[in-house]
Amino acid sequence: MPGFLRDFFNRNGFGMGIAILGLVLFWTIGLIILPQLSMLDFSFRPNLPPPEIGGPKDVYTLENYKYLIYGPEGGSQSYNAVDLRVFFRTLIAAVCVTIFNLIICYPIAYYLGQSKGNHIRIFAIMLIIPYWINEILRAFALRIIFGETGVLNTLFVGLGIWDTPFDFIRNDIALYAGLGYAYILLMIFPMYNVIESLDGNQIEAARDLGAPWWRIHWRVVIPYAKPGISSGCTMVFMLSAGALAAPQILGGPSSLWFTQLIYQQFNDNNDWPQGAAYAIVLLVTCILFVLAMMRLFKVNMGDIGK
């Protein structure tokens, strides 16, 4: 038996160790790997009626992936402009949401991590309690707030800031705010967990040496918090790119999300192979983008797993 397994069973006992390993393997293999492999297999299959599945026409093909790039055969354009535009817009929007969350959440995480007292626990509970409500209900609540007759427009029109209601929905402000709010805890707490362990004497020493606040954060806090920052950014980006409920509820007529195209292929068009191909493209692209950003900012997988 390998040494790490021997240590694992010595710490947890044989029965509990087997139970933990079984649950981890079931979660990893049964709920993640096998469904993704099934999706990958679907993506290379033609869309056939049920009687023809498994027949001579049911052979592997790249047509589902070609459709994303070139569109239907005989189309008026040489490439699939609509779907490709939605795909890249989704990725760019996910990056913007991630940057927005990082800017908003870093001061909160720093305050939570470096402050002492019971008021910090109360503040953390106030952050957590809204997330006891279902994500869809929170999205509808944000739609009420940002609607033409919602709280914000009623307030600003009443104060005379503008004469007519502003369309937050059509201008995608509600969507980006909803996505940022949906994953704010996934950005705050990884950074908080790291910053909490930062020795305050390092900050005091930098301050005593005359370093301004921005340099203290740039040279001391942020490098130390890099594992939490990388972990939070990875989760927020992946979940934002794969979001469905918020774009469906808060998105305007021109803010189609790539996951909505996937949903349409699966449920409206009943074209599972095409939907699977779109899902695989989104998954692989997001993974490659995250790996590229990790390499650019010199972050390794161990930092994210801390």
DSSP state letters, 33-97: IHHHHHHHHHHTS----GGGTTSTT----SHHHHHHHH-STT-SSSS-HHHHHHHHHHHHHHHHH
Mean pLDDT of 215-233: 91
- What pTM was computed for the model? 0.88
Provide the token pair at 303.
Answer: 């930092």
DSSP codes of every residue in 158-210: HHTS-SS---TTTTTHHHHHHHHHHTHHHHHHHHHHHHTTS-HHHHHHHHHTT
What pLDDT was estimated at residue 6?
A: 78
260-298: per-residue pLDDT in tens? 999 999 998 889 999 999 999 999 999 999 999 888 877
51-85: per-residue pLDDT in tens? 777 777 778 889 999 999 988 776 667 788 889 99
Better-predicted residue by pLDDT, 7 or 274: 274
Mean pLDDT of 143-165: 88
27-37: per-residue pLDDT in tens? 999 999 999 99
Most confident range (mean pLDDT) of 17-21, 53-57, 170-174, 274-278 is 274-278
How large is the greatest C-alpha to C-alpha distance in the chain, in angstroms?
77
Asked whether the predicted pLDDT for residue 95 surpasses 90, the reply is yes
Q: Which residue has the tokens 């910090």?
A: 120
Spatial contact of 47 and 65, defined as CB atoms under 8 Å apart: no
Provide the token pair at 207.
Answer: 């301050």
Q: What is the mean pLDDT of the chain?
A: 88
Asked whether the predicted pLDDT for residue 90 surpasses 80, the reply is yes
Mean pLDDT of 241-254: 87
What pLDDT was estimated at residue 76?
A: 66
Better-predicted residue by pLDDT, 279 or 150: 279
Alpha carbons 78 and 71: distance in angstroms, whole number: 8
Asked whether the predicted pLDDT for residue 226 surpasses 60, the reply is yes
The pLDDT confidence band at residue 304, using thresholds 50, 70 and 90, is low
Alpha carbons 98 and 183: distance in angstroms, whole number: 9
Please state which CATH class domain 70-305 belongs to.
mainly alpha
Alpha carbons 259 and 279: distance in angstroms, whole number: 8
Better-predicted residue by pLDDT, 70 or 305: 70
Closest to 83 in 3D by CA, of 97, 95, 67, 94: 67
SS3 state of residue 137? helix
Asked whether the predicted pLDDT for residue 88 surpasses 90, the reply is yes
Mean pLDDT of 230-254: 89
Domain boundaries, the chain: 1-41, 70-305
Asked whether the predicted pLDDT for residue 8 surpasses 80, the reply is no
